[in-house]
Amino acid sequence: MDLLKFKKQDRELRVLFASSEVAPYSKVGGLADVVGELPIYLDKQNVECAVFTPLYGCIDVEKYNIQELKNSELKISLGHSEHIFKLRFCQIPNTQVKVFFIDNPKYYSCFNVVYPKWCDEMYEMQRYVSFCLATLEYAKLLNFKPDIIHANDWHSAMLPVYLKSNYKYDEFYKDTKSIFTIHNLAYQGTCDKSIIDFANMRWDNVYKDNCLEHFGKVNWVKGALYCADKITTVSQRYAQEILEGDFSEGMGYTLRGQTYKLCGILNGTTYDKKFNIKEKAKFKEEIQRAFGLPQNPDRPLIAMISRLTYQKGLDLVDFAKFELKNQPADFVFLGSGEDRYQNMLIWLSNNSSNIRSWIDFKADLSEKIYKASDLFLMPSLFEPCGISQMIAMKYGSVPIVRATGGLDDTVVAYPNSKATGFKFLGYDSQSMVNEIKNAIWTYYDRKDDFKNIIKNCLETKFSWEESAKKYKFLYLDSLNRKNF
């Protein structure tokens, strides 16, 4: 297929999304779900969207019918050498949303994972600098002139900086505004300042306190915060939390100077078909059997599906492991990540009668666990939004969460007639255990209350339609157009 040329459509807005991962093609965390789903709902609201992402070796080209565009070879000089890129694309079924995959064997397709471990810092920066620069050049070749460029996390934080520096006087982008979404401020793209030469940026334009310079290094997120026209986080609470304290990750001073363009927009999830709660017993039996747990339909099953990182509260599970072994409930853990947490969960599986873990991530098993579990544990240290609690709720699995970020925004704590879960405030193992005990006690002794919580969960909707409306409003506002 030849290189496409976008024609002017009768659409209200044109938005270019850039992301290091896009579901279902490449997925590590919630970022992939957002960029894979939000454009679909914007498309329904008369917004033309195109998504750009790297073509990693782990992406199944045949499965998703990702086609190579002929005559798409692009040569860009970066640093002291010339780099060659190619372009592939597919279209999200039943929409006009096109996903473009930037191919380069040196930086993307040579890896069978999205984020390779033990990667050299400067090489990792080069991967995404080159991705951002190629995205801007390909948009011009495709004649996709965006009203908005929507960058996501540090991997595409270079885009707002490029628009205010190298492309400031480019006729093609003269009216383009940029939105930068913080999905997780803990990752900022900090590296040695020599990356500026590789990026073909002028030092006097970008290496200064109100742009990339941060304690003698380059910080791409800081640059995006200054250069973007609007900044969003993925929940209202997280937008407040990052202004000061530990959650600001050293960016509090910078962010407090940018509050006039900062807002929180909660992520959503899809609601294809309402879950029949009567089917939970069937899935519960299947999961109990698969994990070697007693076949007891009346014993609560508590699940945790997560990346195994410090952010997700695995330290609390470690500290509380001996108490969890003695609870009148079963626990199932699914996920992979840091070795220390993987080893801890394996040890628990081998040394307890009620705790089991699967160190991996399997989408089909994940869905079955959501459907099978009675309670869903998310004891996060911080959680910018969190999608797992939303998914759990739509399957009637009652969340037990720490009151932080999006978890606090989305879960109404018991006791309350509108309760959708259980919440604890302090980040300590005893607070978590007390709330788990409260949930187990409610399950056994307050059956009517627990049924009402499940009912509230099933009726609660965090739809992408609402999120898309808010993003469209933000896009129009950044363009100084009349909001709808």
Measured CA to CA, the distance from residue 257 to residue 261 in angstroms comes to 9
Measured torsion, CA atoms of residues 406, 412, 414, 418, in degrees rounded to the nearest 10: -160
- How wide is the angle at C-alpha 317 spanned by C-alphas 396 and 439, nearest 5°? 35
Q: What is the percent of the chain with per-residue pLDDT over 90, rounded to a whole number? A: 87
CA distances to 161, 188, 252, 284, 298 from 295, in Å? 57, 46, 50, 9, 9
Instruction: Report how far residue 80's alpha carbon sits from residue 142's, in angstroms, rounded to the nearest whole number.
Output: 27
Residues of the chain falling short of pLDDT 50: 484
**How many residues are listed for the chain in this entry?**
484
Token pair for residue 90? 């597919």
| Cβ proximity of 150 and 11 under 8 Å | no
Give CA–CA dist 253/244, Å, rounded: 8
Render pLDDT for 37-78 as a digit per residue (tens, 0 to 9): 999 999 999 999 999 999 999 999 999 999 999 889 999 999
Please list, in sequence order, all residues whose beta carbon lies within 8 angstroms of the beta carbon of residue 297, skipping any fewer than 6 positions away.
281, 284, 285
Residue 43: phi, psi to the nearest 5?
A: -60, -35
Q: What are phi and psi of 301, to 5 degrees?
A: -110, 120
Distance CA 102, CA 133 (A): 11
In contact, 287 and 301? CB cutoff 8 Å: yes
pLDDT single digits (tens) 242-276: 999 889 999 999 999 999 999 999 999 988 888 99
CA distance 466 to 83: 41
Q: What is the 3-state secondary structure (H, E, C) of the chain?
A: CECCCCCCCCCCEEEEEECCCECCCECCCHHHHHHHHHHHHHHCCCEEEEEEEECCCCCCCCCCCCEECECCCEEEEECCEEEEEEEEEEECCCCCCEEEEEECCCCCCCCCCCCCCCCCHHHHHHHHHHHHHHHHHHHHHCCCCCCEEEEECHHHCHHHHHHHCCCCCCHHHCCCEEEEEECCCCCCCEECCCHHHHCCCCHHHHCCCCCCEECCEEEHHHHHHHHCCEEEECCHHHHHHCCCCHHHCCCHHHHHCCHHHEEECCCCECCCCCCCHHHHHHHHHHHHHHCCCCCCCCCCEEEEECCECHHHCHHHHHHCHHHHCCCCCEEEEEECECHHHHHHHHHHHHCCCCEEEEECCCHHHHHHHHHHCCEEEECCCCCCCCCHHHHHHHCCCEEEEECCHHHHHHCCECCCCCCCEEEECCCCHHHHHHHHHHHHHHHHHCHHHHHHHHHHHHHCCCEHHHHHHHHHHHHHHHCCCCCC
Q: Would strands 81-91 and 74-78 be described as parallel, antiparallel, or unpaired?
A: antiparallel
Strand 262-264, strand 230-233: pairing: parallel
Quote the mean pLDDT of the chain.
Answer: 94
Q: Supply the pLDDT for residue 296.
A: 92
Residue 300: predicted pLDDT? 97
Tokens 């666990």, residue located: 369
Other Cβ atoms less than 10 A from the Cβ of 482: the count is: 7
- pLDDT at position 484 is 41
pTM of the prediction? 0.92
